Every structure is written in structure tokens, then in C-alpha cells.
């Protein structure tokens, strides 16, 4: 596994396959390339992962305007969000875990409160990676942390359309015309968002571009009572025989099929399972609260597990 202090980033995850080492996440050949990255490759997203409508929200009667850069909305914490910052790093003596820390100033990218945040990466079991997010604030603020690794279980370069996908969700968030959740949840059953059973992506993704009828960049409401690690999603690549299972404490999963990837990368060269709170939750009172108050600790976790065909059974996931 490779980690970078810039963005507390996952730069590689190596899994042995048929006597060779296969890197299953997209990355750049040089660490300096990440300074110019616009795709959030493997980065920690914050202070708020996902979109916030026009970068505005109201907290305690006060409206806050966030940085949006060239975007209409505030995306992934703004143009100088956590993915663009250098974090301090500390590696445990056993070399099986590393903790990255960052302190965001009050008003950074428009967010209120001085925020102290950490993410701890730990190797778990034979092929597992656990991410533990923690944060404290000296003033009431909003927070939503996640990771933006792009997975390709065949190795890059190749498309991810031959991957089978399962997502543990009965509902997904309806989007408006600018990709902001409307506040309405729709039933996945019988739709192109139904991944209750594994579905081959090429059967769902048409050729010719991105749109509602093509790829995915959508938020799913995960089943179960979150707050403890529980199954969220899985991917399987028959060519390599590898599978990936994602478990999380988070209430939602952003499933993204790399539609906006471009040079030097391939469109659909990787897929993302971004376990998080819902985009625009600060403006949607029916969504889980994203507010963090002084004296409270933000604590969420994500677990990636890898394995091979012989030990994979979709029926045993949930």
C-alpha cells in the first residue's frame, strides 16, 4: 500500500494475483503529479465530501458562503479542500498503520470553526484496509469525510465495465438538473439503480457519453442501522478473479463510474465507492445531520477488503 501526505492520499494498493503484484487503484507515476491532480485520485475528501448547493448553507441562523472555484457548487470541500493540503504523518512502529493529521483554520474555504482532523490507515487481516476518521471543532460546523480511491480490479489501463457490482441499498437520492439531491428518495427496485443482486456494469452503462441513462455518479441510502461497520457494496472482476467488499459506518454511498476521468487517464478507468453522509445534507433537514458541535467527536470508518473467487459469495454479504 502506498500513502502520500498530500491529501492523505492512497496512491496504491497492491494485491498478489497469479504470482504478480496487481495495483488495484488508479494513481500517478510520480508523487509530484498529485499536485496537479483534478480527479481526487485516492484523496481524503473534506471538509465536506460531495456537493453543497451553490456553496451556501445556514447554521444557527447565519448563512455561510463556501468557496466554489470554477464550479457552481462547492465540491469536496472547495478548490483548496483537504485533498489539496499537506497532512502530517506518523507511522506506527509495526508499520501496519499510519495516521495523518490536519488542522483546518476557522473560515478555511468558508467553513466555520477550527477543525482538527485525522485519518488512520490500518492493515486488517490478509487483504484489508481500515480507514478511521476522527475530528473535533472549537465551534459548530459541518463535516463529511470520505476517500476517493478509483478501483480497477483488473489493473489499469482497462475499463471497469466488466466488473459486477452489488450495493446494499433499497433507495437512492433523486438528483436535480445540477446533480444536487432534491431531498426525495426513490426505490431502486426494477430500475437501473437496483444492485441488490450483482449486475455487470456493461449491461447498465450505454456507450456514448454521460447522462442519466449512461454512467453513475449517484448517492445510495445504505440499508441497516449505521454507526457500526456494515456491508455497503462489492465489486468483482472475473478476468482477475478479484473482489472488493466495502463496509462502513456511514449512512450513504456515492457510486461513481469515472465518467469525468480524462487525460492522462481513461474515462471509466476506475470506479469509486465513496462512503459518506449525503451531499447537500446541511440544506436538507430530512437527511442525517452533518453538524459537529464543540465537545463532540466526529467518528466514522470505512473498510476495504479484497479476496479471490473461491472465498466470494454475494449471498453472504449482508
Q: Does the active-site annotation cover 247?
A: no
Q: Does the active-site annotation cover 148?
A: yes
Exactly one of 73, 148, 163, 236 is catalytic; which is it? Answer: 148
Q: Is 170 exposed, middle or buried (0-12, 13-18, 19+ CB in 10 A)?
A: middle
Q: CA-to-CA distance for 296 and 141, rounded, in angstroms?
A: 11
Q: CA-to-CA distance for 32 and 37, rounded, in angstroms?
A: 9
Q: CA-to-CA distance for 11 and 25, rounded, in angstroms?
A: 7
Q: Please say whether the beta carbons of 180 and 288 come within 8 A.
A: no
Residue 206 DSSP symbol: P
Q: CA-to-CA distance for 248 and 296, rounded, in angstroms?
A: 20
Q: Please say whether the beta carbons of 84 and 7 come within 8 A.
A: yes
- The residues annotated as belonging to the active site are 148, 274
Amino acid at each position: 500500500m502506498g500513502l502520500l501526505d498530500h491529501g492523505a492520499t492512497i496512491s496504491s494498493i497492491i494485491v498478489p494475483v497469479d504470482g504478480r503484484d496487481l495495483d488495484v487503484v488508479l494513481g500517478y507515476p510520480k508523487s509530484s503529479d498529485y499536485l496537479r491532480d483534478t480527479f481526487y485520485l485516492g484523496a481524503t475528501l473534506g471538509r465536506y465530501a460531495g456537493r453543497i448547493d451553490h456553496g451556501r448553507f445556514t447554521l444557527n441562523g447565519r448563512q455561510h458562503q463556501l468557496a466554489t472555484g470554477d464550479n457552481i457548487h462547492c465540491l469536496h470541500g472547495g478548490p483548496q479542500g483537504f485533498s489539496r493540503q499537506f497532512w502530517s504523518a506518523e507511522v506506527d512502529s509495526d508499520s501496519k498503520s499510519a495516521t495523518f493529521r490536519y488542522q483546518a483554520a476557522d473560515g478555511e474555504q468558508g467553513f466555520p470553526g477550527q477543525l482538527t482532523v485525522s485519518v488512520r490507515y490500518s492493515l486488517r487481516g490478509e487483504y484489508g484496509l481500515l480507514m478511521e476518521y476522527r475530528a473535533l471543532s472549537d465551534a459548530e460546523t459541518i463535516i463529511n469525510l470520505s476517500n476517493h480511491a478509483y478501483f480497477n480490479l483488473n489493473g489499469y489501463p482497462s475499463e471497469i465495465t466488466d466488473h459486477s457490482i452489488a450495493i446494499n441499498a433499497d433507495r437512492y437520492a433523486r438528483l436535480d438538473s445540477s446533480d444536487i439531491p432534491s431531498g426525495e428518495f426513490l426505490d431502486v427496485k426494477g430500475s437501473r439503480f437496483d444492485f441488490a443482486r450483482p449486475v455487470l456494469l456493461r449491461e447498465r452503462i450505454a456507450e456514448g457519453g454521460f447522462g442519466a441513462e449512461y454512467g453513475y455518479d449517484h448517492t445510495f441510502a445504505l440499508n441497516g442501522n449505521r454507526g457500526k461497520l456494515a456491508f455497503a457494496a462489492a465489486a468483482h472482476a472475473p478476468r482477475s478473479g478479484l473482489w472488493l467488499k466495502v463496509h462502513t459506518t456511514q449512512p450513504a454511498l456515492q457510486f461513481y463510474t469515472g465518467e469525468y476521468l480524462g487525460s492522462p487517464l481513461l474515462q471509466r478507468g476506475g470506479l469509486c465507492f465513496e462512503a459518506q453522509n449525503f451531499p447537500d445534507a446541511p440544506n436538507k433537514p430530512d437527511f442525517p445531520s452533518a453538524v459537529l458541535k464543540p465537545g463532540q467527536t466526529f467518528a466514522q470508518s470505512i473498510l476495504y477488503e479484497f479476496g479471490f473467487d473461491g472465498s466470494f459469495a454475494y449471498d453472504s454479504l449482508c
